[in-house]
Amino acid sequence: MPRAARLDIAGVLQHVIVRGIERRDVFVDDQDRTSFLDRLSVLLVKMEMDCFAWALMENHAHILLRPTDKNLGEFMRRLLTGYAVTFNLRHHRSGHLFQNRYKSIVCEEDPYLLELVRYIHLNPLRAGLVDDISGLKRYPWCGHSVIMGARQFPGQKVEEVLRYFSTKKELAREKYQEFVADGIRLGKRNELVGGGLRRGLKVLGNEALPAYDERVLGSGDFVEQLCQEKLISTRLEVHLTLPQIMDVFANKYCVPMEDLCQRRRGGALSEVKSIICHIATRWFGYSGEMVGKCLGITRSGVCRGAVRGQKILEEDFALKGEVEVLVNRSTTSP
């Protein structure tokens, strides 16, 4: 499948996840962890990047950032490349340390900032690296200990987080600790990994299904706002226009292009439209409104079609493979 471009947006919250290549450990011992955190802290201050939460695991790390300038890519390049060089020299190895692409999720700040701070800081507890919430308070490889005042970490926005709980620091810390402890029973929280509310939908076919983008954690309105303000690109690194996408599938299924543009349904035509809805919205990030105008259907119809198109491809692996080859070939053709 073509890869979605990362979103590098100044002033917007980003949940960044970096993983070791082939899920191998990237932190062997405390010296490695100290090396990574020293580099992270220096870059946060030097590049004026707001950091609200972080946690180092064994084979991956979470960082919650808000770029103050459009420089997340440069920040991550310097952080990961510098650390990888140091790690390889120290452990007498060569080659890539991290997966080629770190994952970054643009997040709607008001509803998700505190939820993500809690989610990220509970990672060591969920993984069994600490025994309980008291142990997490003293755990040095997670930003929770910094917010609780157990250690210092230049670059982490402690005061901004605590202000959500009280203007009095000690009271704020008590309430913050209670907030984090309350999150233990919530479990892993898979809904906090992007998809613009799609992962949280329980009932399909709703006329009010929101817009979504796999790179965004937020409401449908938030996704639409980012698109309208051109803060996120609605295209992939390799791009097809909507007419080009329609032409690809019109040729594959021998469906007249004019039939795709009209309010006609039934049989093969409905299947083709559903697959186009899925490809256009989930692979290429087009909004439901844009796709609907091209296919002669409503935005909610596009959402339902995308769900059906995904199901069609998931149930027919051969067809899915053909579609991926077809789209990749089209995007790489001169």
End-to-end CA distance of the chain: 18
At residue 156, φ and ψ (nearest 5 deg) are -85, 130
64-73 pLDDT per residue, tens: 999 887 688 8
At 303 the pLDDT is: 86
At 4 the pLDDT is: 53
11-27 pLDDT per residue, tens: 889 999 999 988 899 99
pTM for this entry = 0.66
At 207 the pLDDT is: 39
In the chain, the domains with their CATH numbers are 13-186 (3.30.70.1290), 203-332 (1.10.1750.10)
Residues of the chain with pLDDT under 70: 1-7, 70, 100, 191, 193-214, 220, 227-239, 264-267, 328-334
